[in-house]
Amino acid sequence: MAVLPEVLHVLDETLNLAGRSAGFDADTALLGALPELDSMAVVSLIAGLEQHFGIVLPDDELDGSVFASVGALSDFVERQLQHQA
């Protein structure tokens, strides 16, 4: 499964970006750069990713670096998919 496009889909849906995520790539900054991604949206995004991928994102591994960029978030999700497979 290609994780990056799926993460972009969840970002778009969760943050109501109306398709803007189509212009994002792995280097696109998120936290601090995307106004829609505030603290409440992070919680919704975590829930959306967990539901979409059928995984649990461990609280003790979630920090700001996970949400620094699209690539960092996708890499984190991919690692969790591998660990929980």
| CATH number reported for the structural domain that contains residue 10 in this entry | 1.10.1200.10
- Tens digits of residue pLDDT in 15-62: 999 999 999 999 999 999 999 999 999 999 999 999 999 999 999 999
The answer to whether the CB of 24 falls within 8 A of the CB of 70 is: yes
Whether pTM exceeds 0.85: yes
The tally of domains found in the chain comes to 1
Range of the domain at 8: 3-83
Among candidate residues 41, 29, 26, the one with its CA nearest the CA of residue 67: 29
Six-digit token string for 5: 């496009």
Largest CA distance in the chain: 33
Among candidate residues 21, 22, 14, the one with its CA nearest the CA of residue 41: 14
- Tens digits of residue pLDDT in 2-15: 999 999 999 999 99
